[in-house]
Amino acid sequence: MARGLTGQDMERLSVVGGGVIGCLTALQLLERGYAVSLFDKGLTGKESSWAGGGIVSPLYPWRYAEPVSALAEASQVAYPLLNSRLFEATGIDPEFTPCGLLWLDHSEQKTALEWACAHAKPIVEVDQHFIYRQVPQLRQGYSRALWQADLANVRNPRLMRALRARLLQFPHFQLHEQSPVDGLLIEQGRVCGVRCGDARIPSGAVVLAAGAWSGDWLAELGLALPVKPVKGQMLLYRRAPGWLPSMVLFDGRYAIPRRDGHILIGSTLEHAGFDYSTTDAALASLRASAEALLPDLADNQPVAQWAGLRPGSPDGVPFIGAVPGYDGLWLNAGHYRNGLVLAPASCALLADLISGSKPLIDPAAYNPAGRLQAL
């Protein structure tokens, strides 16, 4: 593992990528006493962090490897405090809302309950009476489900607004939006800054948190990072506040209520490169899923459709740590569908590694060393 950096080792650290991973990494480092410059090719928080649903859990947590579960559990503990601190500091409420989730799938209930028991998660099996008492709007025909009452969602666009506002309150923070980083500054094998247009901006270390674009960065260094864009399309409906009291999930499609009555329906899973376009086929598919779950939505037109690009990785285990062979270069990428879910713990782990603090989570499973291949 690369040597941790102390305040005496550097004047400023650069973070490339202004999504939830980049912003929370910057916040963690600022709170540890570092000066931070954050670079984004567009506007902060406008990529996959804005586009996602915001469920603070993997959709089917029992399907994931233990390293993903460890980050998810730590992040779920961290989110209520993060929400309250951001709200208090900025006046922007990220709307962390523990409204509960119903899994309506039947085939994996035994596996799910065994996983929940092993991880001390309050997931319980419920019957038809409970299902329709909890969510009366569901179509008829569901006889049993799984339920977790304390599972929350966060309104991710508001979370990103709050993070941006909080970062700007730090005197040693610099935000560079619409500022594509063109390359890394490397001297004698050590990464010592970034190149942005004609400007050469030195820093003691650089963090790559560029989401689906992270693989392109490492390819320029001769390293293969298996992180590729995976498009997800979403629909948004508008009902009265409280119309849908809880989140529901069936066959990979979900409905998420917001406090103001908006309902998100998602999402598709498309390997289409860096293509943001929305399609009529996805619109039809998502509308069919929405109306199959909640028949009353057939009377409503969606008010919005959009697409985001997830940073897809083979097993969903992110890459967190020092990049081998390039002292001063760190990576926090590859969270796939769970960037918002895993962000608080992932960013705390990276900040611990950079600062030389003892991490609360064993970093071995996320270490890029041994997981990256030469091109």
Question: Is residue 359 domain-resident?
Answer: yes
Domain annotation covers residue 351: yes
Question: Cis ω on the peptide bond leading into residue 107 (within 30° of 0)?
Answer: no
State the residue for tokens 């820093």.
Answer: 203
Residue 16 makes CB contacts below 8 A (sequence gap 6+) with: 22, 39, 181, 194, 206, 207, 208, 209, 210, 217
Is there a domain that residue 321 lies in?
Answer: yes
User: Between the CA atoms of 41, 186, 332 and 64, what dihedral angle is there, to the nearest 10 degrees?
Assistant: 120
Q: Facing residues of 224 across strands? A: 373
For residue 159, pLDDT over 60 is answered with yes
Q: What is the CA radius of gyration of the chain?
A: 21
Helix axis angle for 339-355 and 20-31, nearest 10°, is 40
Is the pLDDT higher at 8 or at 144? Answer: 144
Q: Cα dist. 184→83, 194, 200, 322 in Å?
A: 34, 4, 9, 15
**Which residues contact residue 59 at a Cβ distance below 8 angstroms, ignoring those fewer than 6 apart?**
249, 252, 254, 337
Say if residue 9's pLDDT is above 70.
no
Q: Over pLDDT 90: what percentage of the chain?
A: 93
Instruction: Report yes or no on 273 lying in a domain.
Output: no
Summarize pLDDT for 15-68 with one digit per residue, the tens.
999 999 999 999 999 999 999 999 999 999 999 999 999 999 999 999 999 999
Number of folded domains that form the chain:
1
Where residue 2 falls among pLDDT bands split at 50, 70, 90? Answer: very low
Instruction: Tell me how far apart the alpha carbons of residues 248 and 254 are, in angstroms, rounded to a whole number.
Output: 6
Q: How far is CA 342 from CA 15, 41, 175, 226, 236, in A?
A: 18, 23, 23, 19, 24
pLDDT at 347 over 50: yes
Mean pLDDT across the chain: 95
Please indicate, yes or no, if residue 216 is contained in any of the structural domains.
Answer: yes
Task: Report pLDDT digits (tens) over 314-332.
Answer: 899 999 999 999 999 999 9
pLDDT at 375: 85
Q: Is residue 366 part of a domain?
A: yes
Are 19 and 209 in contact by the 8 Å Cβ rule? The answer is: yes
Write the DSSP symbol of residue 67: H
- Beta strands per DSSP E along 149-268: 152-153, 173-176, 183-187, 190-196, 199-202, 205-208, 223-224, 228-238, 247-250, 253-257, 262-266
> Residue 163 is encoded by which pair of tokens?
């993070």
Q: Which residue range forms the structural domain that includes residue 329? A: 13-50+158-227+315-374
In b/e form, how buried is each residue of 59-84, taking b as 16+ CB within 10 angstroms?
A: bebbebeebbbbbbbbbbebbeebbe
Q: What is the mean pLDDT of residues 155-159?
A: 98
* Average pLDDT of the residues in 345-351: 98
Q: What 3-state DSSP class applies to 150?
A: coil
pLDDT in tens, 109-141: 999 999 999 999 999 999 999 999 999 999 999
pLDDT category of residue 87 using cuts at 50, 70 and 90: very high
Has residue 297 been placed in a domain? no
Report pLDDT for 374: 87
CATH of the domain at 221: 3.50.50.60
Please check whether residue 326 lies inside any domain of the structure.
yes
266 Ramachandran zone, left/alpha/beta (phi>0; psi -120 to 50): beta
Per-residue pLDDT band for 213 (boundaries 50, 70, 90) equals: very high
- DSSP output for 9-56: T-S-EEEE--SHHHHHHHHHHHHTT--EEEE-SSSTT-SHHHHS--BS
Contact yes or no for 307/271 (Cβ under 8 A)? no
pLDDT band at 5 (very low <50, low <70, confident <90, very high): low
